[in-house]
């Protein structure tokens, strides 16, 4: 079982543009946190911010998000069949009672943002 | 987390074991039905056991397992038979039951019933059947048989059914077959269950492996440095920011609670929608030009000039802003020198043109990155002076970009060939007392016109010019018609957009540094003045004596404005007609004020005057092309303000007629009483 060995949020080598862009994202008034994951094989957290994605809970979210995206992708593939290239997910927006989780998946990476729309 | 999983796996394994045990027990019970003494044992495995048992017990009494499923009552004979407890060890949980199973008779059967997993057997105590031999099979567990001797303390006599040997034998055979079948079925189902459990445990293990694992620092560095990661971050954050800006809470339940916020939009208010400003790119820069995209109504662009403090940043920028994403521009396009004018291409949704301080014309494509995809060369063929005005004319198939610079050069370019202008025209004012050069600050084409246009100059005059030779006039500036009125450089010139039942397209507005906005009527081409025939003399002069233009086209005359708006108390930097309402226009001045005028309502004062940015000038106005509800104001503080005027820009049916009346009121008053030879006829209270 992977024990978090120094999961550091601010890696020392984040390019400044990326840092700035993500900081702008997390600075939005209703955003509670974001998480950048890398997909493909195993899922790993590249970068995250916000209390809600810290530590163990962050991993849970990461696993959950990856499972959600995987299952939706599989479902889409089932539906669309083999002949056409198939649909692919562009954006997922899960509105729960308390929050809204927005997931923007790509081939190798994934950006998830948790925000509170009523604030 | 994986601990839990492991625990789950263990639990599952335990369950699996139990099921196996249950199955084994069931089989054992089935076997028990088979008579101990049966010579051909139903299964090969049984053979050994049977032998063993026979060895121990002696001859089976011939009483058989007939009582397999139901009603196999306790055979009294069982009691006599101490059956070695085979495979007991494997059935730890049922040890006691096993023991009791050995015991024939009611008691045992009673215990049978109590053993929960034996749903195969329902035991009715019908002491009809033969002896129940306890034959214990070790099918599942290869455990050594433990010898156990048990004595049943209960009925020790044999059953009555001992006598029915023949029947018993037959029944035995049938039952044996039945047992076989049932055993097979059980075995299959048990095998299936086992397989299921195996699969599940495999899945669980896989899940444990697929845990979220941490990245090492090295991996993280590699990922963060990859360019595709940067692209991914760019595109996905844009999408998310646009989604974040969508403030509507779509799960709102309107039946609950009262909305405390009141929407206070009155009809006559000009509301600020947003102010686009980028910390990095907008600081210390001014906006020099603004345009809306013809294709996407939420997209606007602003051109910026140089940031004197930042020497490493590009001198000129064009930022493309999206109304749905307030924090950052959609795209930022770079230029090597200050961008003074910008326009979206009306025919290609991705192209943006810009004119710069160095005279270069740049073409950007929004799909590619920051740099322009096409540039005009810095040569004498193109412009060598700042390009303050540009306009796209023509149709989809035949269009040109017309640009003008402050040295009087007007060039026409083909969009895909920016290497040299298609045609260039130097406007020269031949009859000017001081210099022939015309310093063009602004340029505009009347609607649907592509060959004749008006230019505003630094000296305050407005001239008409032609791109091509016509009969009676050469290409170039028409020096004989001077629209004289302003006393300072003309900052903005805009023709009335051609829309609606009445055509006002010969009206144009100009604004200038002399704090005024003036309304003019352009002379049509046929009416344009030409060189005076030599016979006419004294009244004619192209100099400063003010005379209103008569209908006689052959006079070179100074043309006075129809009306002059004196409201402003600072330089007026831009004026633009509203695209839909014939009588509405907006002005922006140097104190940061945005005035909205409606000529049908009031010709002296604006209907709404809004202080947009405190103290900083507003450089440019541009109305939203689609429905004219929004207006983009570019400020000299680098901020792009978007205002919504609500319903004030929506024309009613009567507006055109009203406007016509207004204009003729202007013109009539102008004709009636003009000033005494002063340039710039003033009209007093035209309506």
Inter-chain touch A22–B241, beta carbons under 8 Å: no
Would you say residue A61 has pLDDT above 90? no
User: Across residues B266-276, what is the average pLDDT?
Assistant: 76
Q: How far is A2 from chain B (nearest CA, A)?
A: 6
What whole-number distance in Å separates Cα of residue B269 and Cα of residue B644?
Answer: 9
The residues near B407 (Cβ < 8 Å, ≥ 6 apart) are B383, B384, B385, B426, B437, B439
Worst-scoring range by mean pLDDT, B338-342, B344-348, B385-389, B645-649?
B645-649
| CB < 8 Å to A9, chain B | none
Inter-chain touch B3–A1, beta carbons under 8 Å: yes
pLDDT of residue B618: 92
Would you say residue B100 has pLDDT above 50? no
8 A C-beta contact, residue B109 and residue B73: yes
- HEC profile of B606-662: CCEEEECCCCCCEEEEEECCCCCCEEEEEECCCCEEEEECHHHHCCCCCHHHHHHHH
| CB < 8 Å to A5, chain B | 214
pLDDT of residue A84: 59
Inter-chain touch A2–B211, beta carbons under 8 Å: yes
What whole-number distance in Å separates Cα of residue B593 and Cα of residue B606?
Answer: 11
As a residue count, chain A comes to 119
What whole-number distance in Å separates Cα of residue B429 and Cα of residue B478?
Answer: 8
User: Across residues B271-300, what is the average pLDDT?
Assistant: 89
The residues near B602 (Cβ < 8 Å, ≥ 6 apart) are none
pLDDT band at B368 (very low <50, low <70, confident <90, very high): confident
Is residue B250 within 8 angstroms of chain A, CB to CB? yes
For residue A64, the enclosing domain spans 30-115
Inter-chain touch A44–B213, beta carbons under 8 Å: yes
Strand order in the sheet with B409-413: B387-394, B399-405, B409-413, B423-426
Q: How far is B575 from chain A (nearest CA, A)?
A: 36
Is residue B228 within 8 angstroms of chain A, CB to CB? yes
Nearest chain B residue to A105 by CA: give it. Answer: B236
Higher-pLDDT residue of B559, A119? B559
| Mean pLDDT comparison of B115-129, B236-250, B536-550, B631-645, highest-scoring range | B631-645
- Residue spans of the domains in chain B: they are 1-64+162-212, 267-525+565-665
pLDDT of residue B137: 67
Would you say residue B623 has pLDDT above 70? yes
In chain A, % helix, strand, coil (3-state, to 5) comes to: 35, 25, 40
8 A C-beta contact, residue B68 and residue B179: yes
Nearest chain A residue to B2 by CA: give it. Answer: A1
Higher-pLDDT residue of B545, B621? B621
Q: Collapsing DSSP states into helix, strand and coil, what is residue B46? A: helix
User: Across residues B586-596, what is the average pLDDT?
Assistant: 91
Domain count, chain A: 1
**A12 within some domain:** no
Higher-pLDDT residue of B109, B619? B619
What whole-number distance in Å separates Cα of residue A94 and Cα of residue A10?
Answer: 27
Angle at Cα B265 formed by Cα B259 and Cα B266, nearest 5°? 130
Q: How far is B226 from chain A (nearest CA, A)?
A: 10
Inter-chain touch A102–B251, beta carbons under 8 Å: no
B379 to B104, B428, B446, B463: CA distances (angstroms) = 116, 21, 30, 27
8 A C-beta contact, residue B582 and residue B661: no
User: Across residues B466-478, what is the average pLDDT?
Assistant: 81
Element (H, E) at B663: helix B655-672
8 A C-beta contact, residue A23 and residue A33: no
Q: Collapsing DSSP states into helix, strand and coil, what is residue A30? A: coil
Higher-pLDDT residue of A78, B669? A78
8 A C-beta contact, residue A111 and residue B234: no
B608 to B290, B584, B596, B600: CA distances (angstroms) = 22, 11, 5, 14
| CB < 8 Å to A102, chain B | 240, 243-244
What whole-number distance in Å separates Cα of residue B402 and Cα of residue A89?
Answer: 45
Inter-chain touch B241–A28, beta carbons under 8 Å: yes
What whole-number distance in Å separates Cα of residue B393 and Cα of residue B422?
Answer: 14
Q: How far is A94 from chain B (nearest CA, A)?
A: 12
Q: Collapsing DSSP states into helix, strand and coil, what is residue B317? A: strand
The mean pLDDT value of chain B amounts to 76
Higher-pLDDT residue of B250, B87? B250
Residue B394, Cβ neighbours under 10 Å: how many? 15
pLDDT digits (tens, 9 = 90+) for B435-457: 778 888 999 988 888 888 899 99
What whole-number distance in Å separates Cα of residue B270 and Cα of residue B632?
Answer: 12
Would you say residue B289 has pLDDT above 90? yes
pLDDT band at B175 (very low <50, low <70, confident <90, very high): confident
**A111 within some domain:** yes
Residue with token string 């940067």: B230
Q: Collapsing DSSP states into helix, strand and coil, what is residue B331? A: strand
pLDDT of residue A82: 66
Is residue B3 within 8 angstroms of chain A, CB to CB? yes
Nearest chain A residue to B278 by CA: give it. Answer: A24
Q: Collapsing DSSP states into helix, strand and coil, what is residue B537? A: coil
Is residue B151 within 8 angstroms of chain A, CB to CB? no
Would you say residue B354 has pLDDT above 90? yes
pLDDT of residue B303: 93
pLDDT digits (tens, 9 = 90+) for B307-335: 888 888 888 999 999 998 888 898 999 99
Is residue B226 within 8 angstroms of chain A, CB to CB? no
Q: Where are the beta strands (DSSP E) in chain A?
A: 31-38, 44-49, 92-95, 100-105, 109-115
Would you say residue B219 has pLDDT above 90? no
Nearest chain B residue to A117 by CA: give it. Answer: B249
Residue with token string 């492991």: B6
Would you say residue B404 has pLDDT above 80? yes
Higher-pLDDT residue of A5, B129? B129
Residue A24, Cβ neighbours under 10 Å: how many? 15
Residue with token string 């270069």: B360
Would you say residue A1 has pLDDT above 90? no
Would you say residue B379 has pLDDT above 70? yes
pLDDT band at B553 (very low <50, low <70, confident <90, very high): very low
pLDDT band at B642 (very low <50, low <70, confident <90, very high): very high
User: Across residues B214-223, what is the average pLDDT?
Assistant: 77
pLDDT of residue B93: 43
| CB < 8 Å to B250, chain A | 95
Q: How far is A79 from chain B (nearest CA, A)?
A: 25
The mean pLDDT value of chain A amounts to 79
| Percentage above 70 pLDDT, chain B | 73
Nearest chain B residue to A111 by CA: give it. Answer: B236
User: Across residues B574-587, what is the average pLDDT?
Assistant: 91
pLDDT of residue B493: 93
What whole-number distance in Å separates Cα of residue B497 and Cα of residue B507?
Answer: 9
| CB < 8 Å to B247, chain A | 117
Inter-chain touch A106–B232, beta carbons under 8 Å: yes
User: Across residues B419-441, what is the average pLDDT?
Assistant: 83
- DSSP letter (8 states) at residue B172: H
CATH number at residue A95: 3.30.450.30
Would you say residue B262 has pLDDT above 70? no
Nearest to A95 among B221, B235, B251 (CB): B251
What whole-number distance in Å separates Cα of residue B321 and Cα of residue B330?
Answer: 5
Q: Which CATH number is correct for B267-525+565-665, 3.30.420.480, 2.130.10.10, 3.10.150.10, 3.40.50.300? A: 2.130.10.10
Report residue B328 as tokens: 């950052």
8 A C-beta contact, residue B292 and residue B321: no
Q: Report residue B260: phi and psi, to 5°.
A: -85, -30
8 A C-beta contact, residue B477 and residue B459: no
Strand order in the sheet with B316-322: B287-292, B299-304, B316-322, B331-335
Inter-chain touch B229–A109, beta carbons under 8 Å: yes
**A105 within some domain:** yes
Inter-chain touch A38–B215, beta carbons under 8 Å: yes
The residues near A20 (Cβ < 8 Å, ≥ 6 apart) are B280
Task: Label the pairing between strands B517-521 and B507-512.
Answer: antiparallel
Would you say residue A39 has pLDDT above 90? no
Would you say residue B539 has pLDDT above 60? no
Nearest to B233 among A18, A60, A62 (CB): A18
Would you say residue B62 has pLDDT above 50? no
Strand order in the sheet with B462-466: B440-444, B452-457, B462-466, B476-483, B557-559
Picking from B8, B206, B222, B224 by the largest number of A CB atoms within 10 A of its own CB, the best residue to mutate is B224
Residue with token string 């215990």: B111
Number of helices and strands (H, E) in chain A?
2, 5
Q: Where does B72-225 have alpha helices with state H? A: 76-80, 95-102, 105-114, 165-209, 217-225
| Percentage above 90 pLDDT, chain A | 4
| Mean pLDDT comparison of A105-109, B358-362, B417-421, highest-scoring range | B358-362
Report residue B266 as tokens: 């009155």
What whole-number distance in Å separates Cα of residue B401 and Cα of residue B413?
Answer: 5
| CB < 8 Å to A113, chain B | 240, 244
């Amino acid at each position: 079982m992977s024990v978090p060995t120094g999961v550091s949020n601010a890696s020392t080598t984040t390019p400044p543009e990326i840092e700035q862009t993500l900081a702008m994202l997390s600075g939005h008034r209703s955003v509670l946190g974001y998480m950048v994951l890398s997909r493909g094989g195993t899922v790993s957290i590249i970068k995250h911010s916000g209390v809600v994605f810290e530590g163990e809970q962050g991993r849970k979210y990461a696993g959950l998000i990856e499972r959600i995206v995987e299952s939706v992708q599989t479902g889409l593939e089932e539906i669309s069949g083999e002949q056409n290239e198939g649909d692919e997910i562009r954006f997922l927006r899960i509105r729960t009672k308390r929050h809204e989780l927005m997931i923007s998946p790509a081939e190798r990476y994934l950006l998830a943002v948790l925000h509170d729309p009523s604030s | 987390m994986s601990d839990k999983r492991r625990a789950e796996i263990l639990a599952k394994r335990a369950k699996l074991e139990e099921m196996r045990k249950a199955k084994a027990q069931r089989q054992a019970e089935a076997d028990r039905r088979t008579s101990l003494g049966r010579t051909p044992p139903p299964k090969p495995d049984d053979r050994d056991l049977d032998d063993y048992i026979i060895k121990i017990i002696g001859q089976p009494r011939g009483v058989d397992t007939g009582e397999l499923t139901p009603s196999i009552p306790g055979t009294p004979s069982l009691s006599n038979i101490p059956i070695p407890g085979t495979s007991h060890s494997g059935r730890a949980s049922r040890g006691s039951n096993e023991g009791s199973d050995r015991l024939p008779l009611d008691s045992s059967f009673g215990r049978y019933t109590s053993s929960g997993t034996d749903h195969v057997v329902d035991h009715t105590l019908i002491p009809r059947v033969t002896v129940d031999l306890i034959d214990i099979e070790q099918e599942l567990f290869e455990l050594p048989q433990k010898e156990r001797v048990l004595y049943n303390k209960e009925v020790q006599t044999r059953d009555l059914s001992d006598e029915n040997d023949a029947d018993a034998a037959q029944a035995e055979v049938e039952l044996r077959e039945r047992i076989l079948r049932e055993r097979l079925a059980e075995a299959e189902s048990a095998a299936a269950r086992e397989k299921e459990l195996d699969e599940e445990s495999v899945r669980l293990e896989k899940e444990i492996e697929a845990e979220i694992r941490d990245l090492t620092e090295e991996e993280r560095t590699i990922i963060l440095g990859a360019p595709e990661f940067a692209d991914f971050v760019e595109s996905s954050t844009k999408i998310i920011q646009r989604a974040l800006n969508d403030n509507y809470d779509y799960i709102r339940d309107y039946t609950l609670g009262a909305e405390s916020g009141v929407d206070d939009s009155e009809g006559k208010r000009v509301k600020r929608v947003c102010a686009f400003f980028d910390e990095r790119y907008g600081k210390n820069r001014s906006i020099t030009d603004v345009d809306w995209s013809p294709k996407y109504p939420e997209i606007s662009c602003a051109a910026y000039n140089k940031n004197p403090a930042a020497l490493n940043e590009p001198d000129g920028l064009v930022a493309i802003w999206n109304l749905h994403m307030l924090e950052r521009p959609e795209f930022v396009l770079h230029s090597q020198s200050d961008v003074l004018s910008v326009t979206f291409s009306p025919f290609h949704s991705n192209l943006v043109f810009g004119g710069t301080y160095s005279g270069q014309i740049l073409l950007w494509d929004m799909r590619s990155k920051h740099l322009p995809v096409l540039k005009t060369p810095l040569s004498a063929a193109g412009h060598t002076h700042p390009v303050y005005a540009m306009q796209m004319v023509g149709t989809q198939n035949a269009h040109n970009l017309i640009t003008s610079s402050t040295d009087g050069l007007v060039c026409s370019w083909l969009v895909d060939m920016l290497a040299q202008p298609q045609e260039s025209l130097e406007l020269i004012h031949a009859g000017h007392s001081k210099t022939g050069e015309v310093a063009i600050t602004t340029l505009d084409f009347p609607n649907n016109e592509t060959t004749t246009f008006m230019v505003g100059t630094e000296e305050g005059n407005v001239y008409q010019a032609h791109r091509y030779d016509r009969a009676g006039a050469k290409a170039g500036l028409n020096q004989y018609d001077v629209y004289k009125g302003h006393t300072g450089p003309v900052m903005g010139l805009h023709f009335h957009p051609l829309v609606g039942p009445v055509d006002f397209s010969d009206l144009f507005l100009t604004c200038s540094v002399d704090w005024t906005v003036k309304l003019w009527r352009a002379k049509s081409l046929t009416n344009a003045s030409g060189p005076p025939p030599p016979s006419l003399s004294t009244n004619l002069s192209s100099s400063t004596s003010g005379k209103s233009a008569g209908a006689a086209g052959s006079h070179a005359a100074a043309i006075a404005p129809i009306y002059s708006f004196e409201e402003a108390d600072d330089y007026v930097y831009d004026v633009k007609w509203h695209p839909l309402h014939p009588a509405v226009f907006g002005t922006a001045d140097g104190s940061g004020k945005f005035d909205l005028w409606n000529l049908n309502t009031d010709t002296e004062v604006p209907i709404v005057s809004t202080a947009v940015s405190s103290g900083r000038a507003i450089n440019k106005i541009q109305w939203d092309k689609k429905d004219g509800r929004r207006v983009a104001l570019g400020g000299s503080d680098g901020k792009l303000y978007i205002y919504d005027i609500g319903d004030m820009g929506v024309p009613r049916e009567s507006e055109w007629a009203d406007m016509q009346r207004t204009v003729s009121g202007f013109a009539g008053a102008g004709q009636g009483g003009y000033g005494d030879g002063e340039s710039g006829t003033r009209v007093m209270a035209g309506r």
